[in-house]
Structure 1
């Protein structure tokens, strides 16, 4: 056995914003039996997962979910490509990397957009959203990110949905890194299309994503454009709802794991999970500030699951990543416009207060000495 193997930390703490540290029961579920996806056993598993996913997204008997084998991006793209009609257009609400992603997805599928770019880590101006919808009656949908993980900012998607509905428009919400741990509800907030992922706040394994919406909304896709084959939501909905079978070969082990993770998420409830994540975030942020580090956002704009931190003078992200990885911690660089000056730390998943305490102690040793 090599020295590299023997010196590896026993516990690897994933402080990247997904995939997250999972519960032992979720990891064990990945070793479920081999299964044919065209047999009744998988139909039962898929149906259970769809029903639990809808509840986790705050849906009621009016709603359902389509589960896709893919990353969270696949769900966002499926929603945009399928929901916006042939003569429709998308208002893109952009205050970070993932808001900008709506713009790229729409452009890929030839969908007209109006791009409201507020700037990274800048709160959304609700009045500007209202004005844009009033000025352009051809905008049929609004695309907005709930948790903009490029900065850690939480956007008020419920308020944006109210504005959209006042103008008779629908809203597509990227809830990939919030569903399960932040306040968000299909039924209570009137979210028209919610895109999510198994492997962030729902603490499942990577490989599955989902779109949740009203059953009538899925049925309404029948006459819509077929812009994509694999990500056509109507194709997946009719297969999963009518034939009770997947449209294509699914990631069966990820379904096993997601089934177990959803049981844990529903038993804990989003409020308790939010407080668990927020408690870890408070511990982390207080420790970072004691070390003299600067946080990107003011407290009232931060999500519970992520914190962006300025890289301290005299250090670099590469040095911090290397030193922390050697001690069993995986951190995450910032993206594009923020990459030069910031890095990110997640408090999603099965992290503990002991993990945070040890992380802060290791980080303190790695920081440059201050004069």
Structure 2
């Protein structure tokens, strides 16, 4: 086997697929209006409710996460409605832009990239809205561009208190970061298959509260393919999707959801926390700066400052060409200034150790002053201590 076949995919998505789940995707195609497909869709929806921690509706859309974010706007708002968009990075900005395309009156509340949402600022703004003009809050749970986790729980409490909707981009978080959709008052949560759900791209999964469905009765934004009502009505009638679903991808997702249930959500989250700790300790041991403080650090992606004298593109390219390790950069104001390591879903401890090792060698080759094995030792220590508990 050549080196090129041993790819170590450390991106924030798409992520590696567990082998048994990948093989499930090779099952024969069935008719999407057959009983077998109804049973497939029903099992996937029930499995997703466990991961979303919801008893409300979970809808399957055949698209990437972006389609679901667009659907969340189209199904709950009308042109001219006012929303408060909490922007802590590139994906928060993008959610706001999607809303603007629908003619929604978007008020962006900007936060420094690398910092989390300041709940007090949100509270103050909602209190100032005495006329009740704000209809919804747009929020990114896991800001992938910076590696910041924003806590939806206090925002959900504010949304309930002021009777506004809370729409959450959970694309790079769900299944890797705790998100209690019902308990925390999230009206719409959007995720996609290729992130912590360890499935090929092509499916978007959306949880929708009764409050959001009620808002949908008044929302007059145009929608057909994105219609929550159409998807819910078809599922309620015969556990089918309104249009042809991505059947092979559903096979994979079904297998993944069974494995997540077997492992248990708490264990899944713990596993993500441990690899995050290992990466962050190893980067610090190497003398590399982390963009985000530990208290708000994502457990699915870590942003590391590119050290002075090192070119991001060279670092990325050499990791890929020499060691077949795939990492990525960031966007906007962080472009070229940080590199990001994805560690969500089916990323193993061995993947983490391989990545750190390869990173050390490329950095040293590029003139960065380090002793080989320093970062590796720090990560090994984390894993060793966890095993010794």
Normalising TM by the smaller chain, what interval?
over 0.9
Cα offset for 1:11?
2.3
Indicate how the Cα distance of structure 1 residues 161 and 216 shifts in structure 2: closer, same or farther if over 3 A, else same.
Answer: closer
Q: Is the 8 A contact 1:171 1:193 kept in 2?
A: yes
Q: Please say which of residues 192-201 and 129-138 is displaced more in the overlay.
A: 129-138
Q: Is the 8 A contact 2:85 2:107 kept in 1?
A: yes
Residue number in structure 2 paired with 1:121: 114
Indicate how the Cα distance of structure 1 residues 279 and 84 shifts in structure 2: closer, same or farther if over 3 A, else same.
Answer: same
Q: Tell me how far apart the structure 2 counterparts of residues 18 and 39 of structure 1 sit (CA, whole Å).
A: 32
Indicate how the Cα distance of structure 1 residues 218 and 40 shifts in structure 2: closer, same or farther if over 3 A, else same.
Answer: farther
Q: TM-score when scaled to structure 2?
A: 0.89
Residue number in structure 1 paired with 2:271: 276
1:313 aligns with 2:311: no
Q: Tell me how far apart the structure 2 counterparts of residues 178 and 370 of structure 1 sit (CA, whole Å).
A: 33
Cα offset for 1:304?
0.9
1:141 aligns with 2:139: no
Cα offset for 1:7?
3.9
- Which of 341, 351, 358 aligns to 1:355? It is 351
Question: For residues 242-298 of structure 1, what are the alpha-carbon distances to aligned partners after superposition, in whole Å with 9 as ceiling and x for unaligned?
Answer: 243222122111111111111112222222112112211222222222222111111
Q: Please say which of residues 26-35 and 239-248 is displaced more in the overlay.
A: 239-248
Residue number in structure 2 paired with 1:150: 145
| Runs of 5+ consecutive residues of structure 1 not aligned to the other structure | 1-5
Cα offset for 1:216?
6.2
Question: For residues 189-235 of structure 1, what are the alpha-carbon distances to aligned partners after superposition, in whole Å with 9 as ceiling and x for unaligned?
Answer: 12111111122112222111111023564365344324222212222
Secondary structure of the residue that 2:134 maps to in structure 1? coil
State how many pairs are aligned.
364
1:344 aligns with 2:353: no
Secondary structure of the residue that 2:92 maps to in structure 1? helix
1:39 aligns with 2:34: yes
Question: For residues 118-176 of structure 1, what are the alpha-carbon distances to aligned partners after superposition, in whole Å with 9 as ceiling and x for unaligned?
Answer: 23222212121112222231111111011001100000111111111111111011111
1:98 aligns with 2:91: yes
Cα offset for 1:86?
5.5
1:258 aligns with 2:253: yes
Residue number in structure 2 paired with 1:332: 328
Q: Tell me how far apart the structure 1 counterparts of residues 199 and 154 of structure 2 sit (CA, whole Å).
A: 29
- Which of 41, 61, 65 aligns to 2:58? It is 65
RMSD: 1.8
Q: Please say which of residues 306-315 and 222-231 is displaced more in the overlay.
A: 222-231
Cα offset for 1:349?
2.3
Q: Tell me how far apart the structure 2 counterparts of residues 214 and 267 of structure 1 sit (CA, whole Å).
A: 27
Q: Is the 8 A contact 1:218 1:237 kept in 2?
A: no
Secondary structure of the residue that 1:168 maps to in structure 2? coil
Q: TM-score when scaled to structure 1?
A: 0.93
Q: Tell me how far apart the structure 2 counterparts of residues 25 and 221 of structure 1 sit (CA, whole Å).
A: 39
Q: Please say which of residues 86-95 and 38-47 is displaced more in the overlay.
A: 86-95
Indicate how the Cα distance of structure 1 residues 220 and 45 shifts in structure 2: closer, same or farther if over 3 A, else same.
Answer: farther
Q: Tell me how far apart the structure 1 counterparts of residues 368 and 194 of structure 2 sit (CA, whole Å).
A: 39
Residue number in structure 2 paired with 1:190: 185
- Which of 232, 239, 245 aligns to 1:237? It is 232
- Which of 183, 194, 198 aligns to 1:203? It is 198
Residue number in structure 2 paired with 1:108: 101
Q: Which runs of 4+ in 1 moved over 4 A?
A: none
